[in-house]
């Protein structure tokens, strides 16, 4: 009798979910983690919509009052870059997340989102979270104490 090779369908925790999100606001972390789970079950439209939701919450968290009231996510991103609230590179990343996320949420108006696109957007969203929350918090914790060593 021959052996049947078993191929695992799901791993837990899912790949990419082991990122420590303690320094990220919980609502943003929750949407990112949901995007990770959506990618793991091959639901690319849902995944990119969750990345867009995380972005919208980042804008609400990091944006000025004027950016928050700009009327649309696209306008909020433009306002944040105008105000130099965030670096210029933020506009390109955020716009890409917003546009692909829109495609996931509105399939009637856009082409189908592929799993590869969802994986890429998940990575881009994580890079944004790392740049805005995780790296600054880590650097803050590593900051030298106020006292200098005696010579």
Q: For residue 74, what are the domain limits?
A: 26-132
DSSP letter string, the chain: -PPPPP--S--SSPTTTT---TTS-HHHHHHHHHHHHHHHTT-HHHHHHHHHHHHHHHHHHHS-HHHHTSSSHHHHHHHHHHTTSS-HHHHHHHHHHHHHHHHHH-TTTSPPPPHHHHHHHHHHHHHHHIIIIIHHHHHHHHSPPSSPPP-
Domain count, the chain: 1
pTM tops 0.85, yes or no: no
- What pLDDT score does 79 carry? 94
**Assigned domain for 49 exists:** yes
pLDDT in 10s for each residue of the chain, 151 residues? 566 776 666 555 565 556 889 999 999 999 999 999 999 999 999 999 999 999 999 999 999 999 999 999 999 999 999 998 878 888 899 999 999 999 888 878 888 999 999 999 999 999 999 999 999 999 888 877 666 667 6
- What pLDDT score does 99 carry? 93
**Assigned domain for 63 exists:** yes
**Assigned domain for 143 exists:** no
**Assigned domain for 8 exists:** no
């Amino acid at each position: 009798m021959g052996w049947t090779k078993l191929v695992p369908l799901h791993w837990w925790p899912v790949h990419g979910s082991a990122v420590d999100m303690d320094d990220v606001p919980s609502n943003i972390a929750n949407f990112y983690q949901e995007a990770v789970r959506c990618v793991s079950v091959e639901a690319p439209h849902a995944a990119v919509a969750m990345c867009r939701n995380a972005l919208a919450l980042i804008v609400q968290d990091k944006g000025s009052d004027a950016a928050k009231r700009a009327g649309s996510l696209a306008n909020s991103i433009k306002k944040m870059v105008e105000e130099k609230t965030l670096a210029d590179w933020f506009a390109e990343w955020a716009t890409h997340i917003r546009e692909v996320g829109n495609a996931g949420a509105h399939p009637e108006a856009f082409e189908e989102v592929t799993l590869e696109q969802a994986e890429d957007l998940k990575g881009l969203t994580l890079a944004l979270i790392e740049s805005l929350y995780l790296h600054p918090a880590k650097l803050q914790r590593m900051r030298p104490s106020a006292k200098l060593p005696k010579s």
